């Protein structure tokens, strides 16, 4: 187990290193001049050039990259234009926000986690629950309704569902406040009421896939020999299905859930835009639009961390769920 | 001076883009006074610069006023403020040397803000200016504001680390566009830039090498806000400015929310323009124009004292315009952002062709393509009506037959370059179809919208026609005509004179008018506007943007300012 974990963490670090190289390289291929964006008016070429020198954008690429990586581990001096010394883990100083990127992340990361994690709990519970029940009650009215629900969800777009929910609950019935983010620790009730529409919208769309997937998986598993054997040996229905069939059926679902949650954390921009909440996704998109290299780098790295961590968690869960899987 | 199109990157263009999808909203009567003429001057009576501000009918103190906006304000440090939202937010927490008394209908007077008067032209040659700082003006910590702190504020605007703000005063003091090479702020923090002195605690003195009659106007920009050296946190000031205005920024969650509360040390009796009625101002960032408009239409409890900065969303214009109750909660005024079809005179040297372009343009069609008359107002002059001394004229009334006869059988082949955003494409197609009726052959070339502005500003750009816009920093022809049409400033790139005209007689006229007393300049610019169009026809004037914003049912006192054309909050109040 420990060996597995160490191996995966090393592999993850390697992945992160590759991602950081690619992100850094890509920025210099963007058809965009961050300095010109920062200083949009009255900037003569000479002044722009001096700013580029000051920001280190004229240093060799390899120096810029090593400087950046050094900042993450031991901190570095960014100069007076960027707020002086930046403590480790230094993700740099935003060209457009006049603050350290790590401060931006301390602010937007809880927002994105608050959107995605409760939504994921909701969509997994709802999706898997619906799928399992309709598999066990195949052909009933419930099954048909559940399939219809999941088809509807799977064929809709978040900005549509989100917009509809807002028109109904916020603008017309006025029973929910305008979506917003408050810290969970400050006011849990406000936290939930500000984000509940986002959770519901995400859960509606995502649970559809899980309902269909878990129904299909469950039906396939129920037809397997070991389930029939278990039943024949005299296990009760609930024990045979709940303990044996479910564990086998759920393994592929966990894989997809891991990827989905990791991806959703790195890609909440549509949710955030629809509900007007400033999280990681919108921060990333704005950074790209404005050519804010330090923020772009950090969003890419953090999103990659999400994916890598989600994958490790999924692999660990395999071992828990499926006794046939041995880590090592 | 500022090209409106540059700011487009931050949202103006996005607005136009969205408008492209919605051009059929024509069934509404426009009650925007598009022909309104500005009147205004520099106050000569010191009483005009005295506080308190004239009370607003029906206004009462108290309440929280909320502004919702899609994206954060790029800079809050007064020396770096230059976006429209920044320019109209800064008066909450900062005071300047001079400021505008503005009725929101184009009648403006430049008065002293921190200064007792809008400046004394000591030798009447516009080279030496003096400002006396008022008594009783204080920072948020209660310390007095003197000429030293104002001078320090101007000095720190020389710091290249603090880029982003206007550069007029720095360039005039240094007598060089590369002002930061003439005086190094970081190495001389205890001294002042050349030409700037504080003979005593009340007096601020500017000495320029050349005449700069526009100084009182330039001093109205937030870059003249004061700052005590001890409170200078460098780049960090951008997120926590030190207040000299009626409010102080007490909480700033960057990109999410800003909370302003009263600065108890601000004295209304020193302030000629700020009523400061609400107890608090809150800026909330995030919702797009559509969400803002939906919220304001719903007028829910938390949005009743709210203004949506990004304007009425184009998808909801028809809904709002069709409902008298909703229209009553909107503000609609023409802005100083004037759009024109620039003609590259290097490639189109034939005056008759340029005149034919002017005769051929179908303005109602252009207005429709740009979002209808709720969003833009047709324009036949180079200067928008908000300019002081504006005089309406139409040198080339639309007439396709006249255009054809002016062309005299020629069929000029011209290249129109547009950005790759949908709004621009719609406008481009409109221009092409329109001009081809008069016999032109128009080829549309689409380039990335991001780089269009930089490319068209290059002297050797390979195009004949492009849509350009300009919003002057103060409503004087001096901030528009010489900038756009003085040929002596043409350089390899970064030109504002995108028509690339260079006419000796006109250039000489620029010099003559610029040397006049500011008050005498206004009618001269109006004459020159018409003369440039008649003699050079360097562009086709198209339309000025119209600001169309919505507010909650408890908002009062907000007006669209006559200088920048955006919502202004100096008189705002919350209905009790």
The complex scores an ipTM of: 0.77
Say which residue, A290 or B263, is predicted with more confidence. Answer: B263
Report the chain B residue with the minimal C-alpha distance to residue A81: B161
Any domain includes A271: yes
**Residue B137, preceding peptide bond in cis (omega within 30° of 0):** no
Segment (H or E) for B216: helix B215-218
Say which residue, B381 or A146, is predicted with more confidence. Answer: B381
Say which residue, B14 or A242, is predicted with more confidence. Answer: A242
CA–CA separation, A85 and A83 (whole Å): 7
CA–CA separation, A151 and A134 (whole Å): 14
CB contact under 8 A, A51 and B255: no
Say which residue, B314 or B392, is predicted with more confidence. Answer: B392
Most distant CA atoms of chain B, gap in Å: 74
- The tens digit of pLDDT for each residue in B480-502 reads 999 999 999 888 877 889 999 99
Q: Which of B292, B371, B316, B420 is nearest to B544 (CA)?
A: B371
CA–CA separation, B568 and B309 (whole Å): 10
- Return the pLDDT at B496: 87
Alpha carbon A304 to its chain centroid, in Å, reads: 9
- Residue B234 DSSP SS3: helix
Residues on chain B touching A178 (C-beta within 8 angstroms): 287, 291, 295, 300, 302-303
- The tens digit of pLDDT for each residue in A62-107 reads 888 888 888 888 888 887 777 778 887 888 888 877 788 998 999 8
DSSP state of B555: E
Report the chain A residue with the minimal C-alpha distance to residue B8: A40
- Return the pLDDT at A292: 82
Write phi, then psi, for B125 (nearest 5 degrees). Answer: -115, 10
Asked if B82 reaches chain A (Cβ–Cβ under 8 Å), the answer is yes
Quick one: B251 exposed, middle or buried, by C-beta within 10 A (0-12, 13-18, 19+)? exposed
CA–CA separation, B468 and B472 (whole Å): 13
- Count chain A–chain B contacts defined by CB atoms under 8 A: 112
Strand partners, A100: A93
CA–CA separation, B261 and B101 (whole Å): 24
Say which residue, B242 or A204, is predicted with more confidence. Answer: B242
- Mean residue pLDDT across chain A: 85
Probe site for chain A from B255, B304, B316 (most A CB atoms < 10 A): B255
CATH of the domain at A265: 1.10.3720.10
pLDDT for residue A2 is more than 90? no
Any domain includes A208: yes
Say which residue, A243 or B240, is predicted with more confidence. Answer: B240
Q: Quick one: chain B helix, strand, coil %, rounded to 5?
A: 35, 20, 45
| Greatest mean pLDDT range, A180-184, A211-215, A275-279, B503-507 | B503-507
Domain count, chain A: 1
CA–CA separation, B64 and B263 (whole Å): 15
Asked if A178 reaches chain B (Cβ–Cβ under 8 Å), the answer is yes
- A317 contacts A259 by C-beta, under 8 angstroms: no
- Return the pLDDT at B287: 87
pLDDT for residue B240 is more than 70? yes
- pLDDT bin (cut points 50, 70, 90) of residue B3 is very low
E strands within B47-177? 64-69, 98-102, 107-112, 120-121, 128-132
* Dihedral sign of CA atoms B401, B402, B408, B411 in order: negative
Residues on chain B touching A42 (C-beta within 8 angstroms): 1, 166-167
- B215 contacts B120 by C-beta, under 8 angstroms: no
Q: Which of B11, B47, B7 is nearest to B310 (CA)?
A: B11
CB contact under 8 A, A40 and B9: yes
Tell me which residues of chain B, numbers 168 to 227, contact chain A at a CB-CB cutoff of 8 Å.
177-178, 180-181, 186
CB contact under 8 A, A178 and B285: no
- A88 contacts A100 by C-beta, under 8 angstroms: no
**Six-digit token pair at B43?**
């106050």
- Return the pLDDT at B199: 96
User: How large a percentage of chain B has pLDDT more than 70?
Assistant: 93
**Six-digit token pair at B491?**
């350089």
- pLDDT bin (cut points 50, 70, 90) of residue B25 is very low
Query: What dihedral do alpha carbons A100, A103, A109, A114 form, nearest 10°?
Result: -150
Residues on chain B touching A177 (C-beta within 8 angstroms): 302
Where would I find the H helices in chain A? Answer: 2-27, 34-38, 45-54, 61-74, 101-136, 141-154, 158-165, 188-222, 225-232, 237-239, 246-266, 269-275, 280-290, 293-321
**Six-digit token pair at B413?**
């082949």
CB contact under 8 A, A178 and B160: no
DSSP state of A1: -
Residue A176: domain span: 106-327
Cα A28-A32-A35 angle, rounded to 5 deg: 95
User: Rg of the Cα trace of chain A?
Assistant: 24
**Six-digit token pair at A282?**
């919108």
CA–CA separation, A121 and B388 (whole Å): 62
- Mean residue pLDDT across chain B: 89
Asked if A82 reaches chain B (Cβ–Cβ under 8 Å), the answer is yes
**Six-digit token pair at A12?**
């993850």
Write phi, then psi, for B182 (nearest 5 degrees). Answer: -85, -30
- Return the pLDDT at B15: 28
pLDDT for residue B477 is more than 60? yes
Any domain includes A229: yes
Asked if A277 reaches chain B (Cβ–Cβ under 8 Å), the answer is yes
- pLDDT bin (cut points 50, 70, 90) of residue B378 is very high
- Residue B526 DSSP SS3: helix
**Six-digit token pair at A33?**
């001049």
Residue indicated by tokens 């700011």:
B7
Report the chain B residue with the minimal C-alpha distance to residue A96: B74
- For range B235-252, the mean pLDDT: 95
Residues on chain A touching B77 (C-beta within 8 angstroms): 98
Any domain includes A152: yes
Helix A280-290 with A101-136: angle, nearest 10 deg: 130
Any domain includes A12: no
DSSP state of B293: H
pLDDT for residue B29 is more than 90? no
CA–CA separation, B228 and B150 (whole Å): 8
Report the chain A residue with the minimal C-alpha distance to residue B161: A81
Strand partners, B112: B98
- For range B4-23, the mean pLDDT: 31
Measured in residues, chain B has a length of 576
- pLDDT bin (cut points 50, 70, 90) of residue A117 is very high
- The tens digit of pLDDT for each residue in B322-365 reads 999 999 999 998 888 999 999 999 999 999 999 999 999 999 99
Asked if B420 reaches chain A (Cβ–Cβ under 8 Å), the answer is no
Any domain includes A85: no
- The tens digit of pLDDT for each residue in B72-87 reads 898 999 999 988 999 9
* pTM across the whole model: 0.83
CA–CA separation, A159 and A268 (whole Å): 12
**Six-digit token pair at A158?**
């978040």
- Residue B93 DSSP SS3: helix
Cα B110-B113-B115 angle, rounded to 5 deg: 100
Write phi, then psi, for B64 (nearest 5 degrees). Answer: -115, 125
Helix B400-407 with B351-360: angle, nearest 10 deg: 160
CB contact under 8 A, A47 and B166: no
B261 Cβ neighbours under 8 A, 6+ residues apart: B247, B248, B250, B279, B280
- For range B20-34, the mean pLDDT: 40
Residues on chain A touching B3 (C-beta within 8 angstroms): 41
- The tens digit of pLDDT for each residue in A29-49 reads 666 666 766 655 556 667 777
Q: What is the SS3 string spanning B140-179?
A: CCCCECCHHHHHHHHHHCCCHHHCCCCCHHHHHHHCCCCH
Any domain includes A226: yes
- B215 contacts B119 by C-beta, under 8 angstroms: yes
- The tens digit of pLDDT for each residue in A207-216 reads 888 998 899 9
- pLDDT bin (cut points 50, 70, 90) of residue B18 is very low
Say which residue, B151 or A285, is predicted with more confidence. Answer: B151
Residues on chain A touching B239 (C-beta within 8 angstroms): 97-99
- Return the pLDDT at B30: 43
- B114 contacts B133 by C-beta, under 8 angstroms: yes
Taking residue B387's Cβ as centre, other Cβ atoms within 10 Å add up to: 29
**Six-digit token pair at B205?**
């003195």
- Residue A234 DSSP SS3: coil
pLDDT for residue B196 is more than 90? yes
Residue indicated by tokens 């018409």:
B530
Q: What does DSSP say about strands B120-121 and B98-102: parallel, antiparallel, or unpaired? A: unpaired
CA–CA separation, A139 and B143 (whole Å): 80
- B242 contacts B223 by C-beta, under 8 angstroms: no
Asked if B492 reaches chain A (Cβ–Cβ under 8 Å), the answer is no
CB contact under 8 A, A107 and B255: yes
Report the chain A residue with the minimal C-alpha distance to residue B293: A171
- Residue B398 DSSP SS3: coil
pLDDT for residue B9 is more than 60? no
CA–CA separation, B259 and B249 (whole Å): 6
Asked if B166 reaches chain A (Cβ–Cβ under 8 Å), the answer is yes
CA–CA separation, B45 and B213 (whole Å): 19
CB contact under 8 A, A166 and B291: yes
- A195 contacts A181 by C-beta, under 8 angstroms: yes
Report the chain B residue with the minimal C-alpha distance to residue A94: B235
Alpha carbon A218 to its chain centroid, in Å, reads: 27
CB contact under 8 A, B300 and A31: no
Asked if A238 reaches chain B (Cβ–Cβ under 8 Å), the answer is no
- Return the pLDDT at B37: 59
- Return the pLDDT at A29: 67
User: How large a percentage of chain B has pLDDT more than 90?
Assistant: 70
- Return the pLDDT at B200: 96
- pLDDT bin (cut points 50, 70, 90) of residue B32 is low
């Amino acid at each position: 187990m420990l060996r597995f974990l160490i191996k995966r963490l090393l592999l993850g670090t390697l992945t992160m290193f590759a991602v950081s190289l690619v992100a850094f390289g890509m920025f210099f291929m963007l058809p965009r001049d961050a300095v010109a964006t920062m200083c949009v008016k009255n900037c003569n070429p000479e002044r722009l050039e001096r700013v580029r020198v000051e920001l280190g954008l004229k240093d060799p690429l390899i120096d810029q990259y090593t400087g950046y990586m050094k900042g993450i581990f031991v901190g570095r001096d960014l100069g007076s234009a960027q707020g002086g010394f930046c403590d480790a883990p230094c993700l740099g100083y935003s060209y457009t926000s006049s603050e350290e990127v790590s401060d931006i992340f301390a602010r937007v990361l809880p927002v994105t986690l608050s959107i995605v994690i409760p939504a994921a709990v909701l969509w997994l519970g709802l999706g898997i629950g619906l799928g399992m029940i309709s598999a066990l009650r195949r052909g009933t009215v419930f099954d048909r309704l559940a399939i219809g629900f999941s088809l509807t969800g799977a064929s809709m777009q978040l900005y549509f569902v989100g917009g509809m929910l807002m028109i109904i609950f916020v603008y017309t019935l006025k029973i929910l406040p305008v979506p917003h983010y408050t810290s969970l620790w400050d006011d849990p009730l406000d936290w939930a009421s500000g984000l509940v529409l986002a959770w519901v919208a995400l859960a509606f769309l995502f649970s559809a896939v899980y309902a269909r997937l878990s129904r299909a998986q469950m039906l396939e598993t129920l037809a397997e020999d070991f389930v029939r054997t278990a039943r024949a040996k005299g296990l009760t229905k609930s024990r045979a299905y709940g303990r044996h069939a479910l564990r086998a059926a759920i393994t592929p679902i966990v894989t997809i859930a891991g990827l989905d949650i990791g991806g959703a954390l790195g890609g909440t921009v549509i949710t955030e835009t629809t509900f007007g909440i400033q999280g990681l996704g919108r921060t990333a998109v704005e950074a790209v639009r404005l050519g804010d290299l330090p923020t772009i780098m950090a969003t890419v790295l953090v999103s990659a961390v999400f994916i890598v961590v989600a994958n490790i968690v999924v692999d660990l869960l395999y071992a828990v769920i499926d006794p046939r899987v041995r880590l090592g | 001076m500022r090209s409106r199109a540059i700011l487009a990157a931050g949202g103006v263009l996005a607005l136009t883009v969205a408008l492209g999808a919605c051009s059929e909203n024509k069934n509404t009567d426009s009650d925007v006074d598009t022909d309104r003429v500005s009147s205004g001057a520099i106050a000569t009576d010191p009483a005009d610069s005295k506080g308190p501000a004239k009370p607003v009918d029906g206004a009462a103190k108290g309440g929280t006023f909320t502004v919702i906006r899609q994206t954060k304000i790029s800079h809050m440090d007064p020396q770096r403020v230059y976006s429209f939202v920044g320019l109209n937010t800064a008066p909450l927490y900062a005071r300047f040397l001079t400021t505008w008394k503005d009725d929101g209908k184009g009648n403006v007077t430049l008065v002293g803000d921190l200064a007792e008067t809008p400046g004394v032209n000591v030798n009447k040659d516009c080279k030496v200016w003096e400002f006396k700082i008022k008594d009783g003006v204080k920072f948020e910590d209660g310390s007095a504001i003197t000429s030293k702190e104002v001078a320090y504020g101007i000095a720190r605007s020389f710091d290249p680390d603090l880029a982003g703000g206007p550069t007029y005063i720095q360039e005039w003091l240094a007598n060089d566009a590369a002002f930061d090479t003439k005086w190094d702020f970081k190495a001389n923090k205890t001294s002042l830039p050349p030409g700037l002195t504080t003979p005593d605690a009340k007096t601020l003195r500017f000495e320029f090498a050349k005449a700069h009659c526009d100084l009182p106007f330039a001093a109205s920009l937030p870059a003249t806000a004061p700052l005590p050296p001890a409170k200078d946190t460098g780049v960090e000031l951008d997120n926590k400015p030190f207040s000299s205005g009626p409010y102080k920024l007490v909480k700033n969650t960057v990109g999410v929310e800003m909370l302003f509360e009263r600065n108890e040390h601000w004295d209304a009796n020193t302030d000629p323009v700020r009523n400061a009625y609400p107890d608090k101002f809150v800026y909330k960032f995030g919702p797009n124009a559509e969400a803002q408009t939906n919220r304001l239409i719903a007028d829910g409890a938390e949005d009743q004292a709210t203004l949506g900065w990004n304007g009425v969303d184009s998808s909801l214009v028809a809904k709002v315009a069709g409902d008298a109750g909703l229209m009553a909660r909107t503000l609609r005024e023409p802005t100083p952002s004037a759009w024109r079809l620039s003609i590259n005179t290097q490639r189109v040297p034939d005056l008759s062709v340029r005149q034919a372009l002017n005769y051929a343009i179908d303005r109602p069609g252009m207005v429709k393509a740009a979002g209808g008359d709720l969003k833009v107002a047709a324009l036949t002059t180079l200067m928008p009506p908000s300019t002081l001394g504006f005089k309406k004229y139409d040198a080339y009334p639309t007439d396709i037959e006249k255009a054809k006869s002016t062309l005299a059988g020629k069929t000029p082949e011209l290249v129109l370059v547009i950005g790759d955003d949908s709004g621009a494409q719609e406008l481009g197609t409109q221009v092409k179809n329109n001009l081809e009726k008069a016999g032109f052959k128009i080829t549309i070339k689409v380039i990335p919208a991001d780089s269009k502005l930089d490319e068209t500003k290059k002297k050797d750009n390979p195009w004949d026609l492009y849509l350009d816009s300009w919003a002057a920093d103060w409503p004087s022809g001096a901030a528009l005509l010489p900038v756009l049409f003085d040929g002596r400033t043409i350089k390899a790139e970064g030109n504002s004179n995108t028509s690339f005209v260079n006419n000796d007689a006109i250039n000489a006229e620029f010099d003559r008018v610029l040397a006049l007393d500011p008050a005498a300049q206004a009618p001269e610019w109006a004459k020159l506007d018409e003369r440039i169009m008649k003699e050079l026809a360097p562009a086709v004037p198209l339309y000025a943007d119209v600001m169309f914003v919505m507010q909650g049912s408890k908002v009062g006192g907000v007006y669209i300012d006559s200088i920048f054309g955006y919502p202004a909050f100096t008189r705002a109040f919350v209905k009790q």
